[in-house]
Amino acid sequence: MEPKDFYHYLYRKLNKRTPLKNDCGTLCGNACCVDSGEEPLGMYLFPFEEEALQGTKNLTIEDSDFLINEKPVKIAFCHPYCNRRERPLSCRIFPLFPYVDRLGKMQVIIDPRSRDCCPLHRLERNELSSQFVRGVRHIAKLLMMNESTREFLYETSRLIDEELELYCQFLKS
Ligand code: SF4
Ligand code: SF4
């Protein structure tokens, strides 16, 4: 399957699934999407995902500083909001992430990188909409079946490890 078709399939799977049954954006003023005009927050794109997002309005795609196999991972910035139906995969699964440990075992977790902006990070995973969690688990399994997306999950999980390490140091200080 071409990357574009693969991602469009995954997007469709999550189209109607959101972290809570009601709009969680009302809790935080859509904090994960707000373009504050200060340091821009971007969302990493999955491998070749930019092909599925070509022509998306209000989205700028650039090379990030995050390297996998010495190649920069693409990152998307939104100004001020994307078209919801065209949002990248990282946004559709947020604040969950398929975390892959160093032995290669995958588990869908609440992404600790959401700590700074998302009030849902304090919840347990079973407090999120079960439909949403099931949908993310389903696409996580598909992402694990593809070599490049599995590698992306693995390498991004190392960023999560770093984030957790920093947080532990902060708690000890
Ligand atoms: S920051 Fe969290 S609570 Fe707010 S809109 Fe995004 S996912 Fe929902
Ligand atoms: S791309 Fe869209 S869904 Fe993702 S952070 Fe930006 S505005 Fe929000």
Residue nearest to atom 7 of ligand 2 (CA): 81
Q: How far apart are CA 78 and CA 121, in angstroms?
A: 22
Q: How far is the CA of 142 from the centre of ligand 1 (A)?
A: 24
Q: Is the pLDDT of residue 112 over 70?
A: yes
Q: How far is the CA of 103 from the centre of ligand 1 (A)?
A: 30
Consecutive H or E run containing 108: strand 106-110
* Res. 135 pLDDT band, cuts 50 70 90: very high
Q: Is the pLDDT of residue 116 over 80?
A: yes
- 151/78: higher pLDDT: 151
Q: How far apart are CA 60 and CA 119, in angstroms?
A: 26
What is the per-residue pLDDT for 83?
81
Residue 98 burial by CB count (10 A; 0-12/13-18/19+): exposed, middle or buried? buried
* Res. 129 pLDDT band, cuts 50 70 90: very high
What is the per-residue pLDDT for 76?
95
Ligand 1-lining residues (CB < 6 angstroms): 19, 24-25, 27-28, 30-32, 94-95, 117-120
Contacts of residue 67, defined as CB under 8 A and 6 or more positions apart, other chains included, come to 73
What does the pLDDT look like over 44-101, one tens digit per residue? 999 999 999 998 888 999 999 999 999 999 999 988 888 888 899 999 999 999 999 9
What does the pLDDT look like over 9-42, one tens digit per residue? 999 999 889 999 888 888 888 888 876 666 667 8
**DSSP of 9-20:** HHHHHHTT--SS
Mutate to test the pocket of ligand 2, among 82, 83, 94 (most ligand atoms within 8 A of CB): 82
Q: Give yes or no for a contact between 59 and 73, defined as CB atoms under 8 angstroms apart.
A: no
**Average pLDDT in the chain:** 91
Q: Helix, strand, or coil here: 167?
A: helix
What is the per-residue pLDDT for 46?
98
* Res. 104 pLDDT band, cuts 50 70 90: very high
- CA atoms in the 13 A half-sphere facing the CB of 127: 9
Q: Lowest-confidence range among 68-77, 100-109, 114-123?
A: 114-123
Mutate to test the pocket of ligand 1, among 17, 23, 24, 35 (most ligand atoms within 8 A of CB): 24
